[in-house]
Amino acid sequence: MSRRRQTGWVRSTDPGDYQRVPRAVAAMPKDFVAGFTILPHHHERAQLIYATTGTMRVATDDGVWIVPPQRALWMPAGVTHGIEMLAEVTMRTLYLRDDAASFMPGTCHVLPVSPLLRELIVRATELPLQYDERGPAGHVVALILAELRGLQFLPLRLPMPRDPRLRTVCQALLDRPGDVRPLDDWAPLANLSARTLARRFQRETGMSFGGWRQQARVLAAMGRLGAGEPVTRIALDLGYESVSAFSAMFRRAAGTSPSEFRHRQPASR
């Protein structure tokens, strides 16, 4: 670590500087431009991936998650993942020591971020890396851990198949979630018959092709709503003939209307 970092003049944006800090939680602030991609990697510590503004798409070998500002993604230590910035992102990441994260799951999960937790995370990024554990900074970290302990996980995972032919289809759908072509039109991309593609999709993801595509649309909509885009534009881009049809689908999947979901987002910069 450079002298400037040691003296606190500049806070490091290198994740490696946060993995062995002798504290329960190490918090890193880092900003990204839209479209920036972090290639697949992993960390020694478990990670809470969060952004106060902007939306991210996080992918592992097993699944894909959309992470808008009112959500965070729990990433266990050692899990390889890549991150794509779907908008300008103000990332505020927490790295948790093994003993501090012992109550958290061993798999990736989406978590809701309350206004209190948001402010605690932001405050943690302003603390010295080796903060006084017995002082106010220690209380901030203790509150963060208490908040995490009480959160319920959200079922927002999009499972990814292992078969590279199926992953090609899935990646195309993630890149163009509004593509409404039927299953028969996607089968040649995987060099499979439509029947075989449907059967393998169900076997590898636990979802039908249509169910998987709808979940991909829901997650894409959440990301764009989190960025403040108009509901009408999102509905049409995702292949729906009307806003009402899109809103009905979104309410069934998310438990709230698109407008209500968007209005819950934190104020942008």
Q: pLDDT (tens digit, 9 = 90+) per residue, 91-106? A: 999 999 999 999 999 9
Structure-derived torsion over alpha carbons of residues 150, 154, 158, 162, reported in degrees to the nearest 10? 40
pLDDT at 55: 87
CATH 2.60.120.10 spans which residues of the chain?
Answer: 3-149
Q: Would strands 71-75 and 109-112 be described as parallel, antiparallel, or unpaired?
A: antiparallel
pLDDT at 121: 97
pLDDT at 265: 54
pTM above 0.85, yes or no: no
Q: Are 96 and 104 in contact (CB under 8 A)?
A: yes
pLDDT in tens, 220-266: 898 888 778 899 999 999 999 899 999 998 888 877 889 888 776 54
Q: Are 45 and 162 in contact (CB under 8 A)?
A: no
18-32, 52-66, 72-86, 118-132: least confident range: 52-66
Q: What integer best gives the mean pLDDT of the chain?
A: 89
Q: Is the dihedral of CA 194, 199, 204, 207 positive or negative?
A: positive
The CATH T-level fold of domain 3-149 is Jelly Rolls (2.60.120)
Q: CA angle, corner 33, sides to 4 and 15, nearest 5?
A: 40
If you average pLDDT over residues 183-197, what whole number do you get?
A: 94
Phi-psi label, residue 255: left if phi above 0, alpha if psi -120 to 50, beta otherwise = left
Structure tokens at 4: 């400037």
Identify the CATH class of 161-263. mainly alpha
CATH 1.10.10.60 spans which residues of the chain?
Answer: 161-263
The percentage of residues in the chain with a pLDDT greater than 70, rounded to a whole number, is: 94
Q: Which residues contact 87 (CB under 8 A, 6 or more apart)?
A: 34, 53, 54, 55, 223, 227
pLDDT at 148: 96
